[in-house]
Every structure is written in C-alpha cells, then in structure tokens.
Amino acid sequence: MTPPSPPDRPGTGTPERGAGPGRAVPSAWRPDLPAVLVAAGAFLVTLALLLPGPVHGRSALVPDSGRLSWRLEADSARYLDTATWRTREDAELVRRIDAVGSPAAGSAGRAVWDVRTATTGPDGTLGHLAWRVAVDRSSGEAVRCCGAHVDGDHLARPHGLTLWWPPGAGAAERPLFDPESRTSAPAVPDGADLVSGVPTERYVQTVAATRASEPARPVPARLFDADARGTVGAERWLEVERVYWVEPLTGRVVQLREQRRETLRPEEAGPDGETERVLLAADFQTPPEEAAANAAAADRRALLLRLTSTDLPAALGGAGALLVLVGVLRRAHRPDRRRSSAAGRV
C-alpha cells in the first residue's frame, strides 16, 4: 500500500501551467492609463471642433416645424360695424397671428409655414387672412416654392423677411413682407431693449397708405355722402406702423406693436362727399405676459446656441488638451516594464 503523499509546504506547490524556472507568472491585465488619457482627450478635442460647425450650424437656422403664435390686444379701438354700418368707439379688439411649420412641404434648406391672421371684436371677426410662405432657413428671406400663396393667390410674390429674422445676423435694415398689401417695406433698426430681462433689438416698419389687394366691395353710398342712396364700390386702404422686438441670436420676434389704420375709399368719390371712411383704427400690443413667455422661450434657445458656438467648444477643447498633456507626461515618466523585468531576472 502506497503511503499518502505529504502535504505541500507553503510556497512549494505545483507550479501554474506555463510557469517554470526563470519564468514569471503573468499578472492581471491593467489598462494603459496614459493611452486612455490621450484617447479621451483626443475625443473631447474632436467634439469641440464639431460643435461650432455642423452641430451649431444646424441649430442656427430658421426652424421648419413647430407652432408660433402672437396675440395682440387693443383697447379704445375704433371700427366700423359692417352689419349696421355704424362706427363703434372704445372697443376692445384682439389680433392673432398663428403659424404652423410644415416640414413635409419644405426641404433641408427651406422652411414652409402656414399662417393665419385674424382680428376679432365684440361683434365677431373683423378681418382674416391665410397665407403660406417658404423661407430660406439661413437668411430668413422668402423664396418662391412649395405652394406659397397669399389668400389663395399663388401669383403673389413675397419678398424679404416674413416671420423670422436671420439668426445671429446682427442689426441691419431689411425688407419685410406685408401680406395684406402684398408689398415689402424696410424694417429699420431702432435701438435695443430688454423684454422681461432678455436683450432684444428693436425694428420699426412703416407701411404707407396702400390699397389692399382684395377687390372693391359694395357698401352703402351714405357712408361717404349722407344724401346719397344705393351702393357704391369701395376699396380698403391700409396704413400700418409696426415695432418688432427681436431676440438677435435666434431671430425670434418676442414682442410686437402694430398701429393700424384701415379706411374705405369709394372707387369714384363724389364732389361733395367724404373721400374715405375709417374702417379700423387701433393700437395693438403684445400683452406683458405673452411677451414674457416669448422672451423666455427665445432665451432658452439662445442659450443652446451660445453653448454650441463658444462655451462648450472652449470647455471641451481645454479639457481635451489637458487630458492629452497629462497622458503624454505620464507616458514619458513611466519606467519601461520590459527593462525592469529584465533587470529583475539578472
């Protein structure tokens, strides 16, 4: 009977496979920290280079989707009630501009917006207009395409800006399209303002007395001559002064004031009758709470643009460069493992 083998003494057990005299047992894998630092730094530097270009460039464009809405209110307004043909004084009116983006109708470089404008008062709707505009997403200017029209007229040719200013373009005089007169009038820089603490640029546009594009309408002749009978054809004329408060980085209008005067003028004025009758006279303004909400939304988007254009690239680039430098220095000062192992065997 073979006696049992004595227990192994500490340190004299069976060697691991592959181990032998003069051969070290492989240790657990350790990451190459300098290489990791250099790779991470290179990634951050690359990201910093991409943010101001492709990433910021895609953000700093006129949006092609979403909803925009401006609500303007006027008190002490004056208008002609076309149901009774009597003038109403000190009326409270509301003017709304609602726009909906239609990305399916546009393209990568063009945004398409469907816009509805309506003025309402105690007696219902006083006026409305529907139009579609296509704009270049970089310049904000109208282009002819994509079914653009003004109140169904596809021959109308919008020119200049419409709903947005070009993001980050700076204050400058620019043509601004007025869909009711179907003409463009310059929007002139008029200083800077704070709207609910958000910096804005102010622009003023004046549309001189212009005949509206719709055909003449039949109205009672007595509107222009108290002794007249029957009806006459009358044309609507429009005078508007608008003030826009624009957040410059996003190009978004956050506040709007519109001093509007509309009149009816007979196609053929009689020698003794009046030459016009006031149809609407009102000073519309964005309510403070609406302006504050618009300014807050624009400020959030402006923050994103600032981060992607300067702040984040600077931070990421600095952090990446620091990581690369630390990795290189650690590599330069780390002893060579192979030489250390060889020296140990000797």
Q: What is the pLDDT of residues 289-315, one digit of tens each?
A: 999 999 999 998 888 777 766 665 666
Closest CA to 92 of 120, 71, 113, 114: 120
| Residues contacting 295, CB < 8 A, separation 6+ | 195, 196, 197, 198, 200, 247, 254, 255
pLDDT tens for residues 98-122? 999 998 888 888 999 999 999 999 9
Q: Is the pTM of this model over 0.85?
A: no
Residue of 70, 128, 72 whose CA lies nearest to 99: 70
8-state DSSP, 51:
I
Q: Is the pLDDT of residue 68 over 60?
A: yes
Average pLDDT across the chain, whole number: 82
Q: Residue 117 forms beta bridges with which residues?
A: 97, 129
* pLDDT per position as a tens digit, 205-219: 999 999 988 889 999
* Nearest-angstrom CA–CA distance, 126 and 56: 43
Structure tokens belonging to residue 311: 């702040």
Half-sphere exposure of 229 (CA within 13 A, CB side): 0
Place of tokens 């990581």: 323
Q: Which comes out higher in pLDDT, residue 16 or 213?
A: 213
Contact 56, 343 (CB under 8 A): no
> Residue 232 forms beta bridges with which residues?
219
Query: What is the rounded distance in angstroms from the CA atom of residue 239 to the CA atom of residue 276?
Result: 13
Please, which pLDDT band fits residue 334 given cuts at 50, 70 and 90? low
